[in-house]
Structure 1
Amino acid sequence: MKNVAIIMGGYSSEYQISLTSGGVVYQYLDKTKYNLFKVHIFKNKWVYVDELNEEFPINKNDFSIEANGKKITFDVVFNAIHGTPGEDGLMQAYFELLGIPQTSCDYYQSALTFNKRDLLSVLKPYGIKTATSFYLNLGDEIDLDKIIETVQLPCFVKPNKSGSSFGISKVKTKDELLPAIENAYKEDNEIIIESFLDGVEVSVGVINYKGKVTVLPITEIVSENDFFDYEAKYLGKSQEITPARISEELKLKVETVAKKAYEVLKMKGFSRSEFIIVNNEPYMLEMNTIPGMTTESILPQQAAAAGISLTELFDNAIELALAK
């Protein structure tokens, strides 16, 4: 039986959500096929946590553990860390150096997609539409008039590299702009300010399923809040409708763009991209390479709509990683 390390936690504000995702992966992976190990990755410790909640330190030299007098190494890693270091390429590069296969995309794709500004710049030449944006780095002079002239109001202020809507604000007036910028800087030293796209928001899961790039049923997001923020995502303040209430023609258009982005970037594993449809054109906001895996999360909902159970979804990820 293969030893599978399910890594969860991480160094960002999203660690709690990641622990839930990792727990769901542990719950649904086939225990008759794999020996499963929950591994918590935090800044101050990397540990394997057993059934009795006892912790065993991870040896970072070869990503192994000593438990009950025996050394355990891993055949494959299931990556369930949202944010750094699991979604930005650091863990991917580490495992590649150690020669241990893992379920998410490679380190370059992780780093690129985690950086919203760079991702959108790379996809633009392929005809993938994006919002008008303005970039700021910590320490840059802030010219409010110039920002508003570029992106108009209302606009969105976002940390360039963070997830789960931490640090994002919708800005309606000039007075709200500076506090929103300061709020975003709490999460990241780079910011992206984007024009407000008024349209239907959809989330599109694209995965490699049994060796074939597969677009899952599209989810339409209707937020009770001003936008799809943390409350809307995790505290039930939104409706997620799968399949989305869009025409067949528009569905094909969105699927084509999402699949193109996945293939252009040479993605592997899971991905979930967010789009806003304006005048029948999908505009891409971002791509997540370690999307939420809780039972309420969007990608598992989409897989269920496609007739793929969580056990099949997670098992497929392990099989593909091992086949690499």
Structure 2
Amino acid sequence: MESFLKVVQLVLESHDPELQILATQSFVKFSKIEEDTPAYHRSYDFFVSKFASLCHDNHPDPVIRKSLRMAGLIGIKGLILKAVSDDMQVNIWADNNMGKIIPSLLFNMKSKDFEDETKFKDSQTRLLQPDPVRFTENESESTMPNDVAAECLRELINRASFGLVHNILKPIITHFDLHCFWEMAADQSGDNFATETFKIIMYSIQSKPAVIQILMNHLDCVAKGRRDLENCNLGNKITVQTGIVNVLNEIIAIPADTIGPFVLGMINSLLQHLHDSINNVQTQFVEEEKQFQEAVINTLG
């Protein structure tokens, strides 16, 4: 097995797209093999990094770009399958791995690169297509990277225990911070990627209250950070808070057996945020504060 993986690694390091796709498919076949003896010394760090890198491929030819991104996503599926068969060998939920896998999935879920079919009709490139990988027999075969990325995210979340929820949500929240998705969520008539992502999470995860709690903690952190900001950045932080509350408003109603006790704590926290906002309105940010207050009231209502 070690020599086989070494060969796969060497082929993945090639700059030939077809060889990279073939190597990915070989890794996926390997991931389905149940080994008799766990290889605790084996490291999959290279494969995590390589597949995450392929997910961000930006080849000028759209056919090659799509195929390589699909290869990266299918490789991540292989890692998930391997983790399921033996999580003692492949701890994909470790912070360093989630920090590479989650942004790769979110990037492809958000990407609009392959919506225009004319780009593919005009291309003369003919490339080997990665074989689809199913987590379940009922799973449909998708050829679009954004759909496959969403499937991977659902599967990761569905298999995460309570103690691993934070490992998945932390890079998601960081990604949203860096790419201004909270600000987009603040405008309910605009981009709703943050809301849709957290709906996927809530419908897939077993520990729904943990998601609410982690979002509330992030809201508290943003509010706390406002005190140390210059006025020029304050308006942006208020907008971030509004976006987080709008997401909470959309997901809090998703059914959960154990979410009840958490609602009271969330209500008390939101009331405190509303109180702070009303008592600390600055002249130049009246509109931002008003929007935030309305978002809180809608969520409480």
TM-score range, shorter chain: under 0.3
Bigger strand fraction:
1
TM-score in terms of structure 1 length: 0.24
Higher relative contact order (CA 8 A, sep 6+): 1
Q: TM-score, length-normalised on structure 2?
A: 0.26
Structure with greater Cα Rg: 2
Structure number with the higher helix fraction is 2
